[in-house]
Chain A
Amino acid sequence: MTRKAAIVGGNRIPFARSGSAYARASNQDMLTATLDGLVARFGLQGVQLGEVVAGAVLKHSRDFNLTRESVLGSQLAARTPAYDVQQACGTGLEAAVLVANKIALGQIESGIAGGVDTTSDAPLAVNDDLRRVLLQVASARTVQQRLKALAGLRPGQVVPDLPRNAEPRTGLSMGEHAAVTARQWEIGRAEQDELAVASHRNLAAAYDRGFFDDLVTPYLGLTRDENLRPDSNVEKLAALGPVFGGEDGTMTAGNSTPLSDGASAVLLASDEWAAARDLPVLAHLVDAQTAAVDHVHGGEGLLMAPVHATPVLLARNGLSLQDFDFYEIHEAFASTVLATLKAWEDPAFCKEKLGLDVPLGAVDRSKLNVNGSSLAAGHPFAATGGRIVAALAKQLHEAGPGKRGLISICAAGGQGVVAILES
């Protein structure tokens, strides 16, 4: 038995800039509030769902069961099982794929996929050298052993390890990696700034036409994404200095996503379950694909894995890149989106790296990120997938039956998740 999982709807809280409106909220606070918003929207009080799957990228060790604990604090039935996933920025979309697959296999009838992240309430680790000393002290059996272990203490160890947005195997931050790719693909400053402006303009317009009224629930005083600058323009963005890629770099704070806090959740179900509850079906999750690149030794761009995942997904579904009405390409950085588009158009790259005789070709830019994306909304890592899935499903539903959308999300570790939705 396989069937396509329906996307019933979604809910998220407005995304906040780091250290701002949600500075005192934990991942569990935000995920619980987001689940409760979804519960309220679809009348799920006391309802036992098949499964809730969510995750966070920056996670305290005490939050090992973050999703289950959030379910227990929510108004869902306590008997709803839950588990955590983590695939960096791919977490939210991967969670939706996992829920959809179980629905497709008939293992569950309904489920919620979500994600949450905070860079404000991020875990601080004890300095690693101090941690080793303390563990030795704890395992010491004699006073002598304990004293010997304590002799390893050094003043510098009191400085905690701050979580860093850096790749463990390269030491480069994500932005520095993206700057390398931007240079490789000769992505210009102006086109990045234009993409950023379009993101702000589209997101603001979507808010203004009420598109997010049934997708976003206010939280802690925020009603819209805090990073949104409706009056953003290329002149303002052109004035910003580069933050990645050195003095002649093209990537600025304006065309890179800011650190942000937020959570999102998507309700998925079988068509039967939705119909039995008089709930809408906005779209179906048709298929998904992951891929990974060797950004460490292979000379490939850290955030370019979706470029590889997409042709596999298209081939399996007998589709071309142009067979879509909407494209959601996660804006980790404006340059990432532009490099992705350029790679798909490049005959040599498509031939050598993707094994395609004909390049995938161009994407109609008027169909790209039509309701804004991460540059404007912000990007609380694991929450981005749920934001995109719910918004795209609603956009497809509005456009009418048989419309198709492609989602592409890049992730740390050289990974990518892509998926097809259809109304």
Chain B
Amino acid sequence: MGSAAPGDAAGRTELASAPSLPALFARAAVTARGRGGDLPTTRLARTGVRADQQQLAGYARVCGFGLSDVLPPTFPHVLAFPLQVALMSDRAFPLALPGLVHVRNRIDALRPIGTGEALDLEVWAERFARHRSGATVDLCASVSADGAEVWRGRSTYLARGATPPDGAPEAEVTVEVGDVPDGTIRWLVDGDTGRRYAKVSGDVNPIHLSGLTAKAFGFKRAIAHGMWVAARALAALEGRLPAAASVDVAFRKPLFLPSTVTLATAEVGGGWDLAVRNADTGAEHLLGTVRPR
């Protein structure tokens, strides 16, 4: 955060450019030990951010979105993610970034966002919560254009074995969906999907990149990014999503690469219930809801 202005009284720090994710992941790894305490109140922000059209085209291709003048509803997460990683890799953050598992993600897309709009991003951490196998924390993002909020994101991460502070609330990691029987949508998820998504999203977490790097973190094979699975599922509903929507997805069993999975969709109240399952075992990788706002 070399170019960061000093934080103001409310703990808000504005960054002039997106922090480098490989450097942050490396720093988080070497400073993983000895963390603890409560969540920092820091807020990191960037203003006037525009989507890089080349990155956007690559992101659309990897996730299956068409190239239009509106951002995919998951794309603002890609813009905010480096700030969230900067927050989590800072020594003041109580949990070690390596080993954090993305278990749930909520998005409120308040209106369609044009691909050329200048966006103001702000991220913070909140809701340090108690989970049966550790603790969860929410990394939040608010995206505004012309002073009005247009998009909200809330990514819930699980730290296994971590201890939340006294009086912490219970973690909320499940998403209730109705009956979503498997239909006919089947994806052959290639072995290089993690690398392809890493390239367009910047999320170079080693558990997604190769079998070898995933093993170092306790996974038998590389696993797909949860946000890729979510984006791919929303892309499959291209043309059938509400213009303003709330998306809520729970990431369940890891999606090992390569895999064959099914996407099940059920129309519910102008929105959708979704399930991504392993085609062979039926194991659930993602359960989610899309509701009009």
A: which residues have CB within 8 A of B?
24-26, 28-29, 32-33, 36, 72-76, 78, 218-221
Contacts and interface: CB of A to CB of B under 8 A. Distances in A.
Interface stretch (B65-73, B149-157, B163-171, B251-259): B65-73
Contacts of A75: 239-240
A220 B239 contact: no
A29 B238 CA distance: 11
B67 A72 contact: no
B116 A72 contact: no
B23 interface: no
Interface string B33-63: 0000000000000000000011001000000
A33 B66 contact: yes
Contacts of B239: 32, 36, 72-76
Q: Which 6 pairs show the lowest CB-CB distances between chains A and B?
A: A24-B57, A29-B67, A73-B238, A25-B67, A29-B66, A75-B239
Contacts of A219: 68-69
Nearest to A74: B239
Interface of B: 53-54, 57, 66-69, 115-116, 238-240
Contacts of B53: 24, 220-221
A32 B68 CA distance: 9
Given A73-B239, A220-B115, A221-B53, 20 more contacts: A24-B67, A25-B67, A26-B67, A28-B66, A29-B67, A29-B68, A32-B68, A32-B238, A32-B239, A33-B66, A33-B67, A36-B68, A72-B239, A73-B238, A75-B240, A76-B239, A78-B240, A219-B68, A219-B69, A220-B53
A32 B69 contact: no
B111 to A, nearest CB: 15
A33 B239 CA distance: 10
A120 to B, nearest CB: 12
Nearest to B116: A221
Nearest to A35: B239
Interface SS of B by simple majority: loop
A11 B69 CA distance: 15
Contacts of B67: 24-26, 29, 33, 220
**Which of A33, A73, A219, A221: most chain B CB closer than 10 A?**
A73
A78 B54 CA distance: 30
A76 B240 CA distance: 9
Contacts of B54: 24
Contacts of A73: 66, 238-239
Contacts of A72: 239
A219 B69 CA distance: 6
Contacts of B57: 24-25
A218 B69 contact: yes
A72 B66 CA distance: 12
Contacts of A29: 66-68
A22 to B, nearest CB: 8
Contacts of B238: 32, 73
B34 to A, nearest CB: 46
Contacts of B115: 220
Given A72-B239, A73-B238, A32 B116 contact: no
Contacts of A74: 239
A26 B81 CA distance: 28
Nearest to B238: A73
Nearest to B54: A24
Nearest to B67: A29
B184 to A, nearest CB: 13
Contacts of B240: 75, 78
B285 to A, nearest CB: 24
B8 to A, nearest CB: 35
A23 B238 CA distance: 22
B69 A220 contact: yes
Nearest to A25: B67
A29 B53 CA distance: 15
Contacts of A36: 68, 239
A221 B57 CA distance: 13
B239 to A, nearest CB: 5
B238 to A, nearest CB: 5
A198 B214 CA distance: 64
A307 to B, nearest CB: 39
A40 to B, nearest CB: 11
The interface centre, meaning the residue of B57, B66, B238 with most chain A CB atoms within 10 A of its CB, is: B66
Contacts of B116: 221
Contacts of A28: 66
Nearest to A26: B67
B96 to A, nearest CB: 38
Nearest to B58: A24
A78 B265 CA distance: 15
A28 B68 CA distance: 11
A220 B67 CA distance: 8
Contacts of A78: 240
Contacts of B68: 29, 32-33, 36, 219
B245 to A, nearest CB: 14
